[in-house]
Amino acid sequence: MGKITSLLLITLCVSLYLSIHETFADQVLAPPAGGGLGRSSREPKYKIEFHSEDSPYNPDDEQEAVFMPNTNGKNYLCFLPKAEKPKSGKLATQHNTSSMIMESEKRVKVKTPDELLEEMDEHCFLRQETWWTYEYCHKKHLRQFHLEDDKAVQEFFLGYYDPEATAAYNQNLSDVSILKDPRSKDASHRYHSHQFTNGTTCDLTNLPRETEVRFVCAEGRTMINSITELSTCKYALTVQSPILCAHPLFQEERPVWHAIHCNLLRDDAEVIKAEEDNQHGKQIKMVRDIEYPFNIDADDNAV
């Protein structure tokens, strides 16, 4: 019953996407952060990939297919991901915790997030937005400036790395200083925090600007993901990096993504014509097969 319910849910989600989205060949539709066609961060997430007639998806054996129309008159054949045996999140968590305890008892040292992030020392990262450019230099500073003729103008420092404030901020947390963004339902947004203080004085508050730099696990390259102003002259900068993915606690609740592949189908008239062309091709092939199976010399000798 659980498997049937899951398949119905997936099918309903695909139908909904096809109804509300204009789809394009080889387009990938994934829900926004915090969503994900899954009710919790531990459940599988689903993304929908659309394939054109020229490059259709080739399904695996026993992969279930569902016919799906959309409101634009296009038809799709969607292949659902294979059902897997559910794994207990509780058991998985207990297993991870037990493994960490055993490793601790064996005195096998697991690198902390800060030790992993040492790879970023002496590196700076830029993010260009509409007007402003943001420069983050690891464990040094965060700078905001506007470029004109390749020169920085209207420069502000949003904070300098403060090891004491960082230690004080993390002292009441777990020994690896892992946090979870309370505004996100997605556990993959756990982050490790650094505090940057004593930035350029804010005109509105007469206080130095401050920034919390949040490091998150993400595949790909290390880069500034986003910057937001939480309150007047207080900011949050998110840095995504595959470096943190090596830490077990960042892997623990990373969501599993499954792809639903949808092949665009031709309309009925095109299908009928294609079938006729295909049948005609088969007839021609049959005539050719009859014409050339014999050895002429052998027949002449037989006569």
CATH 2.70.130.10 fits 112-246, yes or no: yes
pLDDT at site 29: 46
Tell which residue, 31, 27, 57, has the closest CA to residue 44. 31
Q: In this model, does residue 191 exceed pLDDT 60?
A: yes
Q: In this model, does residue 248 exceed pLDDT 80?
A: yes
Q: What angle do CA 33, 38, 192 make, to 5 degrees?
A: 45
Encode pLDDT of 193-230 as tens digits: 999 999 999 999 999 999 999 998 888 889 998 999 99
- Which tokens is 179 given? 């946090």
pTM of the shown model: 0.52
Nearest-angstrom CA–CA distance, 82 and 62: 8
- Where exactly are the structural domains of the chain? 2-87+256-265, 112-246
Encode pLDDT of 11-48 as tens digits: 656 665 655 554 444 444 444 433 444 444 445 567 78
Q: In this model, does residue 237 exceed pLDDT 90?
A: yes
**């200083």: which residue's tokens?**
177
pLDDT at site 62: 75
pLDDT at site 261: 84
Nearest-angstrom CA–CA distance, 29 and 240: 21
Encode pLDDT of 108-121 as tens digits: 577 888 999 999 99
Tell which residue, 264, 297, 303, has the closest CA to residue 68. 264
